[in-house]
Structure 1
């Protein structure tokens, strides 16, 4: 769904109307990817990917900011991806949109921190979701293996040797949204089983220990 200029305000309205003493929280979790390199990417696919992955979260946050300011603070959690930090083949628009989302979290943290609003990005790796299943089915078909074997193949270089679950990512969001992370702002939480810690080009020298 491509974001429309007015729709986030309908979601923020009920929060403003309630008198319950709750902390104002925004969790923006949307993602889509259209395969292609820069040379292959047409303008419409580029715009659509950035609309969903970057402009949409910005608009949701913008609509919620007045509520947060009225309540004296809040927390913004932007669900990004490890693709924001390491590019995948043929994922130019997706990679760029998620990198922009990380930068957006930092910008919100800097601009609204003095008003008590925190903002952070959450970067999952492979997660068992319908979107992940679709990718694994494609990988499995290309390698003659099933979905679970494809997840194992995709995470074979990840120290924990598995994909994450939606529940695990929800707990990460809960941490960033809650007062348990009250000093955490303007940063990125990576939830990928340790994948970003691996220096892949040197694995061949220590195959038995990695």
Structure 2
């Protein structure tokens, strides 16, 4: 019998979709973007990455993987060198993030904020005209009060002494909840800055802030969430979901659908903003005075 010859998609030589992180949400987004673009998926976990690439390839996607620690400048520089040999990037979805399960607030900040900056530096020069980047943030990004000193600090997370300065401003080393809040505020600020920097090249950048979403990462963080009532108490995920005007948490496909729209030509004049996808949770927080953003 003749050897099987794999089909090559017509778009294989066109600008690609770069997806950073192949956890539950990252894979869901890759499946959506892969309908129109060749995929390059980046992840730290080589085994998980290989399995994801194999599964998507079997399903008919045009996909490659690249193992990278996004907190390592040398490795993100190497990623940039790979991208320089590609036909360019039409869609960037930066999904990679960690929660308290990583066990060290410094490592969390490195992945969730510094990593986003390093990826932007690596990918930015290779974004093509008409391209768009979506940085997955969080509704938690709205929790820090407005503070010019904090925002100036979060704008430069790679500067020497950043973590010490952040702890000093916070009054002590931040716990995992506050580390996440600060990191995601920094991600929103990064997208806004990139919108200005990349705009003249006709490249857009936005952030997307999911609210309560049923995802593998969310489930790994445990059954409770901060109460956000000014105390240190925590409440069940069910009680937290009841704060949402729609009365439920969201699904990964509800986030994926918005990402798919944001990188499309249908969103061609959306740039430099954060889009909460939260069932109205932010609106409820603002009505109760929990946030001022």
Contact 1:33–1:93 (CA<8 Å) still a contact in 2?
A: no
Structure holding more helix per residue: 1
Q: Which of the residues 110, 119, 122 maps onto 1:51?
A: 110
RMSD between superposed Cα atoms in Å: 2.7
Structure holding more strand per residue: 2
Separation in structure 1 between the aligned mates of residue 179 and residue 86 of structure 2, nearest angstrom: 38
Separation in structure 2 between the aligned mates of residue 65 and residue 8 of structure 1, nearest angstrom: 12
Separation in structure 1 between the aligned mates of residue 262 and residue 81 of structure 2, nearest angstrom: 23
Deviation track 1:29-49 (CA, whole Å, cap 9, x = no partner) reads 1222339xxxxxxxx933212
**Aligned ranges 1:70-109 → 2 under 5 Å:** 71-86=128-143, 90=175, 91-109=177-195
Question: For the structure 1 residues 18 and 135, does the alpha-carbon distance in structure 2 shift closer, same or farther, using more than 3 Å as the test?
Answer: closer
Q: For structure 2, list consecutive stretches of 5 or more residues without a partner in the other structure.
A: 1-68, 145-173, 226-235
Q: Which of the residues 190, 197, 209 maps onto 2:283?
A: 197
Q: Which secondary structure state, in structure 1, belongs to the residue aligned with residue 223 of structure 2?
A: helix
Separation in structure 2 between the aligned mates of residue 13 and residue 75 of structure 1, nearest angstrom: 20
Normalization by structure 1: what TM-score? 0.75
**Number of residue pairs the alignment of both structures matches:** 180
Q: Which secondary structure state, in structure 2, belongs to the residue aligned with residue 180 of structure 1?
A: helix
Greater RCO, CA 8 A, separation 6+? 1
**Aligned ranges 1:5-16 → 2 under 5 Å:** 5-13=73-81, 15-16=83-84
Q: Which secondary structure state, in structure 1, belongs to the residue aligned with residue 259 of structure 2?
A: helix
Deviation track 1:172-210 (CA, whole Å, cap 9, x = no partner) reads 1111111111000000110000111112369xxxxxxxx
* Aligned residue number for residue 28 of structure 1: 94
Of 58-67 and 113-122, the range deviating more from structure 2: 58-67
Separation in structure 1 between the aligned mates of residue 252 and residue 218 of structure 2, nearest angstrom: 11
Contact 1:24–1:74 (CA<8 Å) still a contact in 2?
A: yes
Report the CA distance between 1:83 and its aligned residue. 0.4
